[in-house]
Amino acid sequence: MKKTYQLYAPWITALLIALTPFLLSSDIFHNKKEEKEEIMEYSCIPVPDSIEFCGTKIDLTRYDRRERMDRELMAFTYMHSTSLQIIKRANRYFPIVEPILKKNGIPDDFKYLMVIESNLNPQARSHAGAAGLWQFMPGTAREFNLEVNNHVDERYHVEKSTQAACKYLKQAYARFGNWESVAASYNAGQGRISKQMDSQYADNALDLQLVEETARYVYRILAAKMMLTNPKQFGFRLKSSDLYPIIPYRNITVEESIDDLARFAKGQGINYALLRNMNPWLRSSSLPNHGKKKYILAIPDKEKMHYNPKVTIPYNRNWVTE
């Protein structure tokens, strides 16, 4: 027996060495199936043949319009964190803004202009100095009766800045007569759009050769409308509890100066950070009021400021999957 083993041992050893790579890489050795390489897949949102904006049907089949729209749809589709946050914030700010637009005779679609201006962040501020949901520059804000100084900046006041935006949009419509040009003028200014219309013999801003930012502007508004009309088409699936609710609050009218807003907040049962968050138009630690102006401060409800997923109601049912 020993001689037999000695005779065949070299052959057995050679066979095992030859089979080792196969055994080490085989499913039998690992006792599992070979893992398939994961491939990332991307898709495009179909560009519609047309889209309605402020009651006007905009043709998107012309190649330049289709490609501009396609670019903005891709941006909203793959700018995931920003797009998701826009949907969440819309649940809080659309219910405030929509009635103001309606009361002033401004088409509801202009809430989407506000979306692309600030990503629905009332604290937004650009490098150029524009601020708030509607991104007013200081001079334009004062022109439309918003107070802007070191202590008070009503560009950050949701309701008042929306009223000011309505005044601007009405003024622009009286000048242009179509809402597409009004929207473009919000980005470039009424004077520039008028000048380009005259020099290019056009009567609609969508037919103008403009700098890239302004050329993209109206299409970004249209893409925002598509996304917020049907987020699921863009792959965004949220629950009601994911949305930001409106925080219940009470109003306090103040006609005297407040030297210490932190102390004032404590007296109201909240802290200074919450006071500033609910009233972003407050821009310092005090509120001088030498002119006896009436300021209205929003004080959040101490009990109802906490999230309760069971009672969160989506403002738009299309925003949630449940």
What pLDDT was estimated at residue 306? 87
Residue 30 pLDDT greater than 80, yes or no: no
Dihedral, CA atoms, 66, 71, 72, 78, nearest 10 degrees? 140
Q: What is the pLDDT of residues 202-240, one digit of tens each?
A: 999 999 999 999 999 999 999 999 999 999 999 999 999
Residue 311 pLDDT greater than 60, yes or no: yes
pTM for the model stands at: 0.86
Q: What is the pLDDT of residues 67-81, one digit of tens each?
A: 999 999 999 999 889
Q: What is the pLDDT of residues 141-170, one digit of tens each?
A: 999 999 999 999 999 999 999 999 999 999
Residue 36 pLDDT greater than 70, yes or no: no
Task: Round to whole Å and give the CA distance between 45 and 51.
Answer: 14
In the chain, how long is the greatest CA-to-CA distance?
Answer: 115
What pLDDT was estimated at residue 233? 92
Q: What is the pLDDT of residues 165-179, one digit of tens each?
A: 999 999 999 999 999
How many beta carbons lie within 10 A of that of residue 132, not counting itself?
Answer: 29
Count of residues making up the chain: 322
The CA-atom distances, in angstroms, between 64 and each of 81, 188, 215 are 28, 20, 11
Q: What is the pLDDT of residues 241-295, one digit of tens each?
A: 899 999 999 999 999 999 999 999 999 999 999 999 999 999 999 999 987 899 9
Contact 110, 169 (CB under 8 A): yes
Task: Round to whole Å and give the CA distance between 187 and 182.
Answer: 9
Rounded mean pLDDT of 132-146? Answer: 97
- Write the single-letter amino acid at 183: A
Residues 6 or more apart whose Cβ sits within 8 Å of residue 84 = 236, 238
Task: Round to whole Å and give the CA distance between 114 and 176.
Answer: 20
Rounded mean pLDDT of 170-192? Answer: 97
Task: Round to whole Å and give the CA distance between 179 and 111.
Answer: 13
Q: What is the pLDDT of residues 37-64, one digit of tens each?
A: 667 677 789 999 999 999 999 999 999 9
Residue 135 pLDDT greater than 70, yes or no: yes
Q: What is the pLDDT of residues 4-13, one digit of tens each?
A: 545 555 555 6
Residue 28 pLDDT greater than 90, yes or no: no
